[in-house]
Amino acid sequence: MVGLITSRDAELAEKIRILRMHGSKQKYHHDVLGTNSRLDALQAAVLRVKLRHLAKWTAGRQGRAARYRELLAAAGLLEFVALPTAPSVEYQHVFNQLRFVFRGGMSCGNICG
């Protein structure tokens, strides 16, 4: 997958060039926060295949997060541990990381023994 942007507006074209190079006009001098969004053909091919599995992987992580919540609740530990919640009804948490935050100065050592 390759992207292309064209513009007859010279000012806009310059802004886009700067943004695609980490916000840099001159090497190692960054005027604005930009991005490095360049992909080589191999990376694009791998990501194209992985994209087909993304929904399944996300559902699996969401299921495991729900199971952790169930197990912590069953063990009476939710009063000690804060887990992430979905941001809103419109969005879903993909749980690429499931972070446990211990409340009130507790730590795993205090709870796990």
Query: Quick one: pLDDT at residue 37?
Result: 65
pTM equals 0.58
Report helix, strand or coil for 9.
coil
Please give the full DSSP string across 50-95, using - where no structure is assigned.
HHTTHHHHHHHHHHHHHHHHHHHHHTT-TTTEE----S-SS-----
- Is the Cβ–Cβ distance between 62 and 93 less than 8 Å? yes
Per-residue pLDDT of the chain (113 residues; tens, 9 = 90+): 345 677 889 999 888 888 777 777 777 777 777 766 667 788 888 888 998 999 999 999 999 998 998 999 999 988 888 888 767 778 888 888 888 888 877 666 666 65
Q: List 101's β-bridge partners, or say none.
A: 82
Query: Quick one: pLDDT at residue 108?
Result: 67
Rounded to an integer, what distance in angstroms lies between the CA atom of residue 55 and that of residue 61? 10
Query: Quick one: pLDDT at residue 80?
Result: 85
- Cβ neighbours, 10 Å, residue 54: 11
